Amino acid sequence: MPNSLARERLASLLRSAAGRRIAIVGDAMLDVYLKGDVERISPEAPVPVVRVRERVLALGGAANVAQNVAALGAIPELVALVGDDPAGTELRRLLAGIGAGAGSLIPTSRPTTTKTRIQARMQQVVRYDEEDDGDVGPADTERALALADRALAVADALIIEDYNKGLLTPPVIERVIGIARARGIPIVVDPKYRNFFCYGGATVFKPNRRELEAALGAAVDVSRSDMLPEVVRRLGVEHVLLTLGELGMVLVARDGLVHRVPTTARGVYDVVGAGDTVTAYLAAMLAAGASAREASVVANFAAGVEVGKPGAATVTGDEVLAAYDSYGASPGAGTTPRA
């Protein structure tokens, strides 16, 4: 298969990724899972009463990206806001548990973004969010830029993880991309709608289909490969990696090449966190010397492993190799000639 990734190349990239430093600038959050059973309806309102039997805390958002970077053996340096509150304390504790230091966390008076999911018999009953998603003030911005400067001085790649929680304002985005480009390191962006067109200069821009269509204000026909490169040019990036869920991914280059990467998932248990895994693997593989196409293929295998696990899970390099072996061969990507 002309676009397959040889196992030896995959193993080499995974080995090379170990020890690479990945700077992550973005919105960290704490995920809380309250798990229990429902045996009755509340007499106060027509809602189920969940008897909580287990409370699970997990890293979310940019912190989950850092966790995935650490799981494959690379070194994450997370630049993020953390509130002076119990959720912030837990977030720091969890990050310490994966070996991610707190030196680049920005203490703030804002609450730590927290997403609490109440589950009964594996079904989510409700989710409630505690957060302040307004743009950060000048003082927090200056602290973030100073810490980002320090992290990028030794980084092998940059991840910008935008959940529209206020840290990634246009000045912050412009500054960190400028530093990374000056150093010649790859830049991976996981965008949200608010700053969608602010990421010019990125190496790989990774929206999902819903995000891209919302930003463009029109449906995206992925079967029309001649139209996709224009999206890349409009965004001002080198590549767009469009994630399509069960349909896999499409990598579009500025020069008009379109690579289709079919999904490798054997079964889907939970899609939460799959995008974070893809982002982490993209950056680590690019830092290890992979091309954008190779990085997309590896990240696709990692995503296929992640969705087979409950919650926002991590994926190791050994698991990616095992997934490759069980698949039989890399699905690679069909290549469409330049538009």
**Active-site residue numbers?**
276
Indicate the burial class of 256 (C-beta count within 10 angstroms; 0-12, 13-18, 19 or more).
middle
The Cα-based distances of 253 to 15, 101, 147, 222, 276 in angstroms read 26, 35, 31, 14, 22
Contact 320, 11 (CB under 8 A): no
Q: What are phi and psi of 248, to 5 degrees?
A: 90, -140
DSSP code string of 167-236: S--HHHHHHHHHHHHHHT--EEEE--GGGTT--TT-SEE--BHHHHHHHHTS---TT-TTTHHHHHHHHT
**Which ranges of the chain would DSSP assign to H, the alpha helix?**
7-17, 62-71, 86-97, 138-152, 170-183, 209-216, 228-235, 274-287, 292-306, 317-327
Report d(CA 307, CA 269) in Å as an integer.
Answer: 6
Provide the angle, in degrees to the nearest 10, between the axes of the packed helices 292-306 and 7-17. Answer: 80
Indicate the burial class of 124 (C-beta count within 10 angstroms; 0-12, 13-18, 19 or more).
exposed
